[in-house]
A and B are shown apart, each in its own frame.
Chain A
Amino acid sequence: MAQVSDLPLWLRAYLRMYRWRRVDPVPLARRRKPVAECRVALATTVGLVPPGAQPFDETVKGGDFSYRIIAADADVARLEEHHRSESFDHAGIALDRNLAFPLDRLRELAAAGEIGEVAPRHLSFMGSITAPGRLSTRTAPEAARLLVHDSVDLALLVPV
């Protein structure tokens, strides 16, 4: 298991002063149907971008709080990683994007009948956001509404 004490010295020094943003209390949503009938969406913060789409902008102060939409039929191997952080090993994701965006695995679960279906759209953020106010108030709610529009029943989120 990873621990904060394993992080590079420069990052530990930064985090010593950092105040994590605590989630505002939210009522737990209830699943309305069996998992085997659910439409499932993914959200990753590894900064994946479809080929030809705008990369995440490393110059945005406080971190790029935008997101990209990844279609259900995307070729996972062709998604480009644009995470700006040097605090983790990028080699695994370079070999297999499913480590942080398991769309191929989700397709397998749908084919096996373990879930109902793969949602038509999935979310990709670049999670190195030190000033998350605009993420919380603008882009995260907007992206969540997109999943509601798509009648998503369950969402799995994967950081890196």
Chain B
Amino acid sequence: MCHQAVGLIQAEIERLGIPTASITLLPEVTRAVRPPRALSLPYPLGYPLGAPR
């Protein structure tokens, strides 16, 4: 659900002229939602930017 929410928020930001990019951990979901831009990362859910410091 987070990926859907991100896509919908992202679209509204982009619609107002601000370029956006989002991270996705679930490309299957992101392909269905179709946000303006997304970068797929190979991390598990809960760790969208990798390991904690």
> Which residues does A use to contact B, with CB under 8 Å?
1-4, 6-7, 20-24, 26-31, 43, 45-46, 63, 83, 85, 87-93, 95-96, 98-100, 102, 105, 123, 125, 127-130, 132, 135-136, 140-141, 143-145, 147-148, 152-160
Query: What CA separation (Å) do A13 and B1 show in the bound complex?
Result: 14
Cβ contact within 8 Å between A143 and B12: yes
Minimum C-beta distance from A8 to chain B (A)? 10
- Of the residues A26, A28, A95, A100, contact of B48 by C-beta under 8 Å: A100
Minimum C-beta distance from B38 to chain A (A)? 9
Total interface residues on B, CB under 8 Å, equals 49
Minimum C-beta distance from B25 to chain A (A)? 5
Chain A residues touching B, majority SS? loop
Cβ contact within 8 Å between A88 and B46: yes
Set of chain A residues within 8 Å of B33, measured between Cβ atoms? 20-23
